[in-house]
Structure 1
Amino acid sequence: MHTLKNYHKYTSIFILLLFVAAGCKNYKAVTVKSAMVLPDTFERTTDTTNAGNTPVRSFFRDAYLLQLIDTALHANLDLQGALQRIQMAGANLKYSKSLLLPTIDFNASAGIERYGDYTMNGVGNYDTNLSPNINDKQRIPNPTPDYFIGLRSSWEIDIWGKLNNQKKAALARFLATQSGFRLITTELAAEIASQYYQLLALDLELNIIKRNIVLQENALEIVKVQKLGGRATELAVQQFEAQLAHTRGLQYTTSQQITETENQLRLLTGKFNAPVLRDTSIMTLTMPEKLKTGVPTQLLLNRPDIRQAELELTALNADIRSARAAFFPSLTLTPYAGYNAFKAAVLFNPGSAVFGIIGGLTAPLLNRSRIKSNYNYKVAEAKAALYGYQKAVISGYQEVMNSLKGMENYSKFFSYKQQEVNSLKNAVQVSNDLYLVGRASYLEVITAQRNVLDAELEMANAKKNIFLNEVSLYRALGGGWK
């Protein structure tokens, strides 16, 4: 009979486990990964030399620019926030590791309970107190105090890898925050360099405008004198004055742009109103050389945004495995050791020493829909992260190609614009000379002056764009933080 009862007990447990495991057959282990294949080269070259591996101090040569970058690396607020996110992820990693270990708590408790006369404990205790086999210290009072002092522990045995996968996810996210920190430093260095070159170009534009203001003021004085001599009309004077007013207006809009760019650099470097030291002109800077791009597969290792997306995908795959393990039974051991008695006077008596261990097997039944929802959520989240990772890879490749072509095309544009500016400056001089001898109209003089102003401004922007594309290419290759 006793054997038959044990048989039914173990059979019931076995059937329960089969029921739980059968419910998981539709939730097989899923690993979301990319099957993307990158192009072999950027420009039909297999040279693996990559400018992105160049440290920022070796890549940028301008001492003022490097000083701005150094200041930002110590004071930028976004960077400080990223450091704290690394600390948060590190703390979460330690917490996830601790889940694999047993908890041990010191416990001291006291309580009291009155047993009813018609309860199992009440009848049992009453009968025990009448036994001749116990002494006065062993008689159970009613109400009955309960004192315990000792250690209690709880340890979930990670049978299915749920806790271990949580630790792996936390580790991947910790590494992702480090890549996120490098991403911010990369973007920060690139943004400072871009704003710096923008500021140099605006300085040049302001100088060009001021120089043209002087030339146009001289031209206006000449036409006023000619009007007094009857060789020019009031219409000519008005046209020259309108052109001068337009150019003077450009002076103030450009000055505003300079102010805003300086303040943007102050924001990036964590300053309020410190002077922004810089080179004298963007035109004095040596033209950048063509950068080595390496091969596209190097983007997967060099670019922090791609690395961050890849690590987040790794973390989510671990989350999927952990969520799947929640379908299966969990085994928890709860050992304890200490002193337990119903009289305080005998609590520390050797006879009050107790120890034991309880093993509990828990399997989800009615809450399985919640576990299924969490599992499906993690799978969908991982697939979304996969698309984000693939987008980051494609964007990185396109950014490299755009910047490569940008440096090439703007360099050619700058060369032709230099020729145009030289020709237009000669045209201004010729038109002035012809106007003085009456062989050119004032409109031809105004047009020549306006054309050279526009061409000089376009030339300044062209050289700025060369440097901006150089910075963009350096960032696209994964440089800017080493």
Structure 2
Amino acid sequence: MNFPSKLAPRCKSSKRATIAALICGSLLAIPGCGIPCLRGYKPGPSMPQHYNWNNGTDYTQPTVSKSMPQFETESGSLVETASFIETRNSQAIDLAKQSPSMKSKPVSPKSDDEDKTFANYIKSTDLSDVNSPADQNKTNKLNASSTTLVNVQVDASDDAQIGEPAEMIVYDEADLNFGISTYQNSAHLPQSIFYTDPYLLDLINQALVGNQELRILSEEIRIACNETYARSGEYRPFVTAGVGAGIEKSGRHTRDGAVEEQLEVVPGKGFPDPLPDFLVAANVSWEVDIWKRLRNAQNAAAMRYLATKEGRNYVVTRLVAEIAENYYELLALDNRMQTLQKTIDIQQRSLDISNAMKEAGRGNQLAVQRFQAEVHKNESERAVIAQEIVETENRINFLVGRYPQHVDRTEVDFIDLNMQTLSAGVPSELLQNRADIREAERRVAAAGLDVKVARARFYPSLTLTGGLGWNAFATGYLFRTPESLIYSVAGDIVGPLINKRAIKADYQTANAVQLQSIYNYQQTVLEAHVEVVNLVSKVDNYRNSIEVKKKQLQSLEESVDSAGKLFQNARAEYVEVLLAQRELMEAKMLLIDTKQEELSAIINAYQALGGGGF
């Protein structure tokens, strides 16, 4: 068919548009645009239905207290995403909140001051952009206090189970409670209530201000926040404006020079030689975020920012626990010093008695020498303990962020020192209370968004550009409109067609990083549960050990008193007195060490449950 000559240009333009549309359509029509399949994660261990302290071995006697309620629930539907957090965890939390016996509102130890300073580009970041509205009923939104379910695309060939029904959570009566407390979980206790020693609380408050590691982490948070702020501008238009001036001299025997010689600006007036050039213009460039690549990159940066904050919160809990542990170690050393001094006093009296018996002809020099050696040995040990006190004080000073100085502390009966009773709560509460688990959740969310960013690179990108300004060879003509007005509008659609190796490699690397983050999350959760079981069992077992050692100590004190009286009446040898005194001192020292281990276990169990954060 022949077209009229007037329609020929239009037909050529239509053919070019059709060819461009076919090329772009073919890029979208190719199955997956050559995107490789993602690998699925391997499921980790399931959450425990209950904690079985001492791994089921019945050699402790935990404190009997009120029983925990049993929750009943029907099996829910399968989660249709490959979530690394089982559905039963979140359901256990919801049921715990709805239970009448658990309606006491815990005092959260966290401060919301930093959350109030979030910029808008942080506040608006959640999983609403990660999941479509249809999927929001299937996954949980990510926020600072909730468990996140992150979508992971699984290869059809992977035989991993991507979901399982919700299960009923059952808790043993004697397994979960270690004393009656108004809080169902000790992690909900603020550190100002859990730690009652005013000197210790003052040290903790000083450390939160002066600790250098916390200051370094604060700067890391600021760096992550700045990265999020930078990402938030990438999907918005870029506008630049500027002015320019220049001068150009073209040769007469060149094309530009020959043309300018033949042209006139106005009748009878040619172009200036050399030719000035003045420009005032503004340019606009905008990459249309069709596939949400830029927004997902910004959300990933926001997730890492939140993960950095949670990482700092975890360091705070560890710092509080470390200060408290060293503080009570300092009290233990003071008590060891007092015990050693009392032992030296007892042995000094025995030395005086042996000297008196020698002078009276009822003893010999050997007994005197043995008592003198024992006194000197304990005096030497006293100097070693004094050095340990100095080193422990300086560890506390370093954590607080100050130079070496004396650490004020209270004078208490260390053996009878009691702290808050522990209440472990339910296993699934660790997902909410542990800052390191929340940090791992957010890193998984960021890794999932990175996969979407890498996937978007397989598709074409649309970039719009435009410019508007004035351009003239003389300032007098610069702002004449429309003679000096210049403008341009353009749109580019660019997509990968051949040789996608780099894009495929980045995509598969993002998938590998995502799996790493999931496995790191599983490992973090597993470590948290192991810590809790070990430490809470340690508290109970060491408490029972202390009760037995107290009885042993009472018997040894009576034996030392009896041996001293018999020795005075020449009815016992000095060796018996020495052995009795030595066994008494060793038993006291061992009791102090055991008490220190118990207090350390309580402190670390409080931290392992998620307590001590701010």
Corresponding residue number in structure 2 for 1:385? 517
Task: State the 1:225 CA deviation.
Answer: 3.4
Can you list the C-alpha shifts for 1:421-454, whole angstroms capped at 9, x where unaligned?
A: 1111111111122223333222221111110001
Corresponding residue number in structure 2 for 1:54? 189
Question: 295, 319, 323: which is aligned to 2:450?
Answer: 319
Can you list the C-alpha shifts for 1:86-136, whole angstroms capped at 9, x where unaligned?
A: 2222221111111111111112223455667898xx36x84576468x635
Distance 1:137 1:272 in 2: 87
Distance 1:404 1:77 in 2: 31
Corresponding residue number in structure 2 for 1:40? 49
Q: 1:138 to 1:390 in 2, by over 3 A?
A: farther
Spell out the pairing of 1:61-80 with structure 2 (5 A cutoff). Answer: 61-80=196-215
Secondary structure of the corresponding residue to residue 414 of structure 2? helix
Structure 2 unaligned residues grouped into runs of 5+: 1-7, 54-66, 70-95, 97-183
User: Over aligned residues, Cα RMSD in angstroms?
Assistant: 2.9
Check whether the contact 2:194–2:420 (CA below 8 A) recurs between aligned residues.
Answer: no
Distance 1:28 1:78 in 2: 42
Distance 1:43 1:138 in 2: 101
Question: 532, 535, 547: which is aligned to 1:403?
Answer: 535
Can you list the C-alpha shifts for 1:116-174, whole angstroms capped at 9, x where unaligned?
A: 7898xx36x84576468x63599656765443212112111111111011111011112
Spell out the pairing of 1:99-178 with structure 2 (5 A cutoff). Answer: 99-112=234-247, 122=255, 126-127=258-259, 130=262, 135=266, 144-178=275-309
Distance 1:63 1:284 in 2: 19
Q: 1:117 to 1:319 in 2, by over 3 A?
A: farther
Secondary structure of the corresponding residue to residue 293 of structure 1? coil
Q: 1:167 to 1:46 in 2, by over 3 A?
A: farther
Matched, 1:413 2:545: yes
Count, aligned residues? 478
Structure 1 unaligned residues grouped into runs of 5+: none
Secondary structure of the corresponding residue to residue 34 of structure 2? coil
Distance 1:216 1:136 in 2: 124
Distance 1:449 1:173 in 2: 60
Question: 11, 31, 48: which is aligned to 2:19?
Answer: 11
Corresponding residue number in structure 2 for 1:93? 228
Distance 1:139 1:452 in 2: 116
Corresponding residue number in structure 2 for 1:328? 459
Higher mean C-alpha displacement, 193-202 vs 321-330: 321-330
Corresponding residue number in structure 1 for 2:605? 473
Question: 394, 399, 408: which is aligned to 2:526?
Answer: 394
Distance 1:5 1:150 in 2: 30
Check whether the contact 1:282–1:463 (CA below 8 A) recurs between aligned residues.
Answer: no
Distance 2:552 2:268 in 1: 112
Corresponding residue number in structure 2 for 1:26? 35
Can you list the C-alpha shifts for 1:442-468, whole angstroms capped at 9, x where unaligned?
A: 222111111000111111122222221
Determine which structure has the larger helix proportion and give its number.
1
Task: State the 1:233 CA deviation.
Answer: 3.9
Q: 1:319 to 1:208 in 2, by over 3 A?
A: same
Identity %: 32
Task: State the 1:201 CA deviation.
Answer: 0.8
Amino acid in structure 1 at the alignment position of 2:186:
A
Distance 1:139 1:30 in 2: 71
Check whether the contact 1:146–1:342 (CA below 8 A) recurs between aligned residues.
Answer: yes
Secondary structure of the corresponding residue to residue 355 of structure 2? helix
Corresponding residue number in structure 1 for 2:339? 208
Give the TM-score normalised by the residue count of structure 1: 0.90
Higher mean C-alpha displacement, 466-475 vs 227-236: 227-236
Distance 2:234 2:387 in 1: 57
Can you list the C-alpha shifts for 1:199-224, whole angstroms capped at 9, x where unaligned?
A: 11111001000111111122223223
